Amino acid sequence: MSSGPGANAGCIFCRIVRGEAPAHVVYEDEHTLAFLDIHPLVEGHTMVIPKAHYETLETVPPELVGRVFEGVRKVSEAMRRALGAEATTIGINNGRAAGQVVPHLHVHVLPRYTGDGGGTIHSILHRPARRGLEEVQKLLQSSL
């Protein structure tokens, strides 16, 4: 499946954007759409997506990344006001190996509360480093 602007006929999120599939939309602007997850981890679990079809964060044009994250910011703020959330956890499963099920970039925003039993981002992966910090730093810097 290719990434790029526009819609993907087989993509459920593109179908939602086009109004061909139902969704509980909580926010929309020219470039983004935010709707409740149909399998919420917690009440208010929301996904923010670009309306154009892009599979992963790296394929989204830089000018659109900011617009998507402005939607994330607005949804996070609304969760604090409307649901009384004390905090939010914001995450992206960026690619199949990371657990991305729908191949359309989506940012999960979850309201959080003291004692809710949820973990931190540090609780999702525990794989020992094979290289030293300096080596990894050089590899990443050379690729940027």
Instruction: Provide the annotated active-site residues.
Output: 106
Which residues face 88 on adjacent strands?
111
Please say whether the beta carbons of 37 and 75 come within 8 A: no
**Comparing C-alpha atoms, which of 14, 18, 5, 50 is closest to residue 31?**
50
Q: Give the phi and the psi of residue 32 in degrees, each rounded to 5.
A: -130, 160
The radius of gyration computed from the CA coordinates of the chain, to the nearest angstrom, equals: 17
Task: Give the integer Cα–Cα distance in Å for 64 and 60.
Answer: 6
Please say whether the beta carbons of 27 and 33 come within 8 A: yes
Task: Give the integer Cα–Cα distance in Å for 51 and 53.
Answer: 6
- Token pair, residue 31, equals 């470039």
